[in-house]
Amino acid sequence: MRLVIARCSVDYIGRLTAHLPMAPRLVLIKADGSVSIHADDRAYKPLNWMNPPCKLKEDGDTWTVTHGKTGEKLVLTMEEILHDSTHELGVDPGLIKDGVEAHLQELLAEHITTLGEGFTLIRREYMTAIGPVDILCRDAKSATVAVEIKRRGEIDGVEQLTRYLELLNRDPMLAPVRGIFAAQEIKPQARVLAADRGIECVVLDYDALRGIEPENPTLF
């Protein structure tokens, strides 16, 4: 990974146009070819980016990132480079879920009809270019469904599932793919974002999936 901190302006040229005025920014150039521009806020979200396949051409103070398929461009005008370093990170082992999340995934795959009558499992840990989808399955109408599982469902989990859906829907063998966000507890903000993205929310009962009866059974 190459890390560049520079005073630069950025222009996006494509279906739309966008301009970032001159300011100090972090430019990440990853081994997969992706380029993203970050400010010192917005958490992990870049100000602008280009996904692979793309190519970076450095011509003096002008750096041009061109997408290999669409021809869209990011044009960086460098006023001053403050830092430029390259680091070999190697192969990432991926996210290791905590014990409860891993067990929830195992149990839900075993009892996939918890999500609805007629659901069938395709596979657990379905790999994509940005990581594994927890569960890939089909609903009663044989439509593909991607399931993201969390112990506590928050906005970042919905964002993660959104990215998976964007990739999966590019595969004509799977598309259209809809999403289900499943967790033991789902925050209200996450529900609102999921609804806006067309993602269904399902609250999982860990004990019920394990076949444990409630200590205080109720009539309703």
- Give residues with Cβ within 8 angstroms of 56, minimum separation 6: 29, 35, 63, 64, 65
Cross-strand partners of 6: 25, 81
Question: Could you tell me the pLDDT band of residue 23, with boundaries at 50, 70 and 90?
Answer: very high
CB 124 within 8 A of CB 109: yes
Please give the sequence-ordered ranges of beta strands (E in DSSP) within the chain, or none if there are none. Answer: 2-13, 17-29, 35-38, 48-50, 54-59, 62-67, 73-86, 120-128, 131-138, 144-153, 177-186, 200-203
Tens digits of residue pLDDT in 138-178: 999 999 999 999 989 999 999 999 999 999 999 999 999 99
Residue 115 carries which DSSP code? G
Per-residue pLDDT at 36 exceeds 70: yes
Per-residue pLDDT at 218 exceeds 50: no
Residue 191 CB neighbours (<10 A): 16
Per-residue pLDDT at 44 exceeds 90: no
Tens digits of residue pLDDT in 191-205: 999 999 999 999 988
Report how far residue 38's alpha carbon sits from residue 111's, in angstroms, rounded to the nearest whole number: 42
Report how far residue 165's alpha carbon sits from residue 159's, in angstroms, rounded to the nearest whole number: 10
Per-residue pLDDT at 79 exceeds 90: yes
The predicted structure's pLDDT at residue 31: 87
Question: Could you tell me the pLDDT band of residue 94, with boundaries at 50, 70 and 90?
Answer: low
Report how far residue 173's alpha carbon sits from residue 170's, in angstroms, rounded to the nearest whole number: 9
pTM (predicted TM-score)? 0.55
Identify the three-state secondary structure at position 128: strand
